[in-house]
Structure 1
Amino acid sequence: MLEKLTLHNFKSHKLTELNFDNSRLHGLVGKNSAGKTSVLQALHYPSMLINVSFDRIFQYEKERLKFLQFITTIGEKNVSVTASGYWLNSSKQHWDFFYSYEPDNVSNRPFKVTFNINGNSYNWNPHTGFAKNESKIPPSLKNTIYLKLIASNLAKPAYSDKITPRVEFDGSGLAPTLDFLRDEAPDKFQLIEEMLRRIVPNVRKVGIRRAKVPVIRKRLIEVDGRSISYDETQEMTGQEVVLDMNTGERISAHAISEGTMLTLGLLTVLMNPTQPNLVLLDDVEQGLHPQAQRQLMTVFKEIIAENPNLQIIFSTHSPYIIDELVPSQVHILNNSNSGFTIAKRLDEHPDVEWAKQTLTTGEFWDAEGEDWVVEGEVSG
């Protein structure tokens, strides 16, 4: 479980420290451009480093420089992120994970990635990864999913030739994933359907039907002894999501509300048999009625209770979502006069004990806003 995250020179985070309580459900709130999405991205990058080879993430020096320019605080030359926590087992092994970039013209190895388990240190090689030590990597970071779902992608017919399809970052691939779950994990499929009905009562049944899907494949041809690549479009038989609603049966997903499709996509990720350990969600309340937002949070809590290794961190602008949390689960982000992000937990507010007796968590946040977070901070 992730307990602490420290960002140094990461985008707007000059030096930000977040401490997570043991609830495994945490909300990030704040004004636009306050740095909420950056927190989620900082947690996602370790998973990319672990699961994808160095060459695939930073193929060329030019691309590496663009990437680093994008994530490093303006005017700074180095960036680092440290995450720490523990495994939920009898011995409660503690771990921490660190990655950084600092220009180094001598060794030509500016990237540094290390993790420690109970005092034992393991270093990441930019060409071979963690090699034999990979199994010891904190699963809270290794099995991380970052989602910014788009309803139109979730509704789109899709084809997958993977043995185990999955919903991608932007919502692509929902139909093949649901088709797989219906056949290989029918109990999970049924739970997804039941939870969706609780959040969106107008839904009666989730279905999948066959659909034609254009698939672009890379091809090679030999011309004068040279290999030339080109794109070839093939029409494949894939799947499309359909829903039975109170208003009709077998309604195509593209005619269903955005909130319904976004909820279905999110539940499909959370209830997958190969469930992630850390789920990072951007704008979790998209398209949902306040009552549905509250029910979504109830479902989150139930899923977490059934899965002791699951942790969910999300950003939101909704007081109805925050109403379902306690102050220690809410992280308030704001920008100082110099533009850097400052973060505090809502339970750090001086009036929190009074508020617990008088207001809901969402009402407290809505009334106090974010300005108190930066009061007394020195600009610079």
Structure 2
Amino acid sequence: MLTEAQFKNFKLLRDVRLPLGRLNVLVGPNAVGKTTVLEGMHYLLQLAAAKPESAIIHSGGLFLGEVAVDDLVAKPDATELELGAVLEDGRRFRLLARAATKEPQPEWGDLWFGKEGQETKLPLFCDDHAKEQSFFKGPREAELGSVVRLKLHAETLAAEHYSEEEIPGVGYDGEGLASVLQYLQGLRDGTLDAIERDLATIVPGARRIRALPARVRRREKQRISVDGQDFWADRSRDVTGARFEVEWEGLGWMPADQLSEGTLLALGLITVVRFDAPRLVLLDDLDKALHPVAQRKLVAHLRGVLDATPHLQIVATSHSPFLLDELRVQEVIVMSRAGARGSALRRLDEHPTSQKRGAYLRPGELWSLVGEGWVSEGVG
């Protein structure tokens, strides 16, 4: 399990340490860096998931091209950033990356792994495959790369889908949910039954789920050769994919595109957690589109999943005091702007009055009362 995430000069996070438990929910005003925390953790831990022969190429794809180091370092003066994750045994997985300061100097970076003072180093873009494989052995054995980041969208979750993968998966925005449900329906290992029970608990009236064949139009590039020259043309073809429906008490079967946003988001999250669950789930807007009662049921469900899955951790963002009311005070991390010092964060139980007020206030009520201003007090 991860006990801490570390950020230096990563966008708004100039020097931030995030303590981690099993369930962690970040709260605070907009544009304070809640999503940036998820983004930084995902950038770092993806590196441990790359295949040995492509690890460094993969890491370069994160910080070059569309997403360059210069786009990620704190503005206006930083040229280097650092991301880190600390394991229970004290080992750290770290990335240090520097932006190109002048032409033609390239960006560069290093990965580090091990206990402080005993870390091994691997330069990014190293062409020594034996050194790569030796370095990544530790992070992979610790399953640091078992991470998924989600920002689910209802329309994408509800869409018909075609997958060429032997075992499909749910994407960052919810793409592929229909294919996963179809796969689980054929697998008949009890996972789909568990998803149905979970959904019925969170969304009253929901019953069974079924996946059905669907004609899906795919757009592809086709190469055409004329007089020795190659041209690429768009081509469309129909393939057999999947769609899904949910049975409702008293209403019968309803197609996915007629389900509420809250139902689709809950179903997408439940499916990700139940199906081939990663070790770490990073989730934007945990409360999105859910009624306060459903938010409370979702937290209860997630707590049950955490109890049944000892290796699982969840880091999420929220703006809902109703959802926070179902958390323990130490599971709430409050974020605040700290002026030129970027952003700061503290656990809600660090507030000077949390112990006294916690005797009669729930975490959401306490947060609503004390706000975020206290977080940046005393930050150096």
TM-score normalized by the length of structure 1: 0.90
TM superposition shift of 1:63: 1.2
1:45 maps to 2:48:
no
**Can you list the C-alpha shifts for 1:245-270, whole angstroms capped at 9, x where unaligned?**
12422211110000000000001100
Letter in 2 for 1:349: H
Select the residue among 252, 262, 267 that pairs with 1:264: 267
- The answer as to whether partners of 1:281 and 1:314 remain within 8 angstroms in 2 is yes
- The answer as to whether partners of 1:28 and 1:315 remain within 8 angstroms in 2 is yes
TM superposition shift of 1:127: 5.2
Letter in 1 for 2:35: T
CA RMSD of aligned residues (A): 2.3
TM superposition shift of 1:153: 0.2
- The answer as to whether partners of 1:44 and 1:144 remain within 8 angstroms in 2 is yes
Distance change (3 Å), C-alpha of 1:255 and 1:299: same
1:335 maps to 2:331:
no
SS of the residue aligned with 2:239?
Answer: strand
Map of 1:286 onto structure 2 = 288
Alpha-carbon distance in 1 for matches of 2:188, 2:351: 45
Map of 2:73 onto structure 1 = 72
TM superposition shift of 1:287: 1.1
Distance change (3 Å), C-alpha of 1:117 and 1:162: farther
Map of 2:365 onto structure 1 = 363
Letter in 2 for 1:301: R
Identity percentage over the alignment?
30
Alpha-carbon distance in 2 for matches of 1:25, 1:295: 15
Distance change (3 Å), C-alpha of 1:124 and 1:311: farther
Bigger shift: residues 53-62 or 289-298 = 53-62
- The answer as to whether partners of 1:43 and 1:141 remain within 8 angstroms in 2 is no
SS of the residue aligned with 1:317?
Answer: coil
TM superposition shift of 1:192: 0.5
Bigger shift: residues 356-365 or 222-231 = 222-231
1:211 maps to 2:214:
yes
- The answer as to whether partners of 1:46 and 1:141 remain within 8 angstroms in 2 is no
Unaligned runs of 5+ in 2: none
Select the residue among 185, 188, 193 that pairs with 2:191: 188
1:121 maps to 2:120:
yes
Q: How does 1:226-241 map to 2 (within 5 A)?
A: 226-241=229-244
TM superposition shift of 1:177: 0.5
SS of the residue aligned with 1:137?
Answer: helix
1:155 maps to 2:158:
yes
TM superposition shift of 1:337: 2.8
Alpha-carbon distance in 2 for matches of 1:306, 1:5: 24
TM superposition shift of 1:80: 0.9
Distance change (3 Å), C-alpha of 1:235 and 1:277: same
Distance change (3 Å), C-alpha of 1:175 and 1:117: farther
SS of the residue aligned with 2:208?
Answer: strand
Alpha-carbon distance in 2 for matches of 1:115, 1:319: 38
Bigger shift: residues 301-310 or 54-63 = 54-63
TM superposition shift of 1:17: 1.1
SS of the residue aligned with 1:152?
Answer: helix
TM superposition shift of 1:282: 0.2
Letter in 2 for 1:12: L
Map of 2:18 onto structure 1 = 18
Letter in 1 for 2:98: E
Bigger shift: residues 200-209 or 108-117 = 108-117
Distance change (3 Å), C-alpha of 1:364 and 1:83: same
- The answer as to whether partners of 2:184 and 2:191 remain within 8 angstroms in 1 is yes
Alpha-carbon distance in 2 for matches of 1:149, 1:319: 21
1:165 maps to 2:163:
no
Distance change (3 Å), C-alpha of 1:340 and 1:103: closer
Bigger shift: residues 252-261 or 200-209 = 200-209
TM superposition shift of 1:220: 2.2
Map of 1:27 onto structure 2 = 25
Distance change (3 Å), C-alpha of 1:284 and 1:202: same
Unaligned runs of 5+ in 1: 87-92
Select the residue among 316, 320, 335 that pairs with 1:314: 316
Distance change (3 Å), C-alpha of 1:134 and 1:180: farther
Distance change (3 Å), C-alpha of 1:184 and 1:124: farther
**Can you list the C-alpha shifts for 1:51-110, whole angstroms capped at 9, x where unaligned?**
34443564599716x532321111211111111013xxxxxx442110121147899561
**Can you list the C-alpha shifts for 1:14-64, whole angstroms capped at 9, x where unaligned?**
11111123xx11110000011000000011012332334443564599716
Letter in 1 for 2:158: A
Bigger shift: residues 104-113 or 210-219 = 104-113
SS of the residue aligned with 1:70?
Answer: helix
- The answer as to whether partners of 2:215 and 2:239 remain within 8 angstroms in 1 is yes
Alpha-carbon distance in 2 for matches of 1:245, 1:12: 45
- The answer as to whether partners of 1:55 and 1:127 remain within 8 angstroms in 2 is no
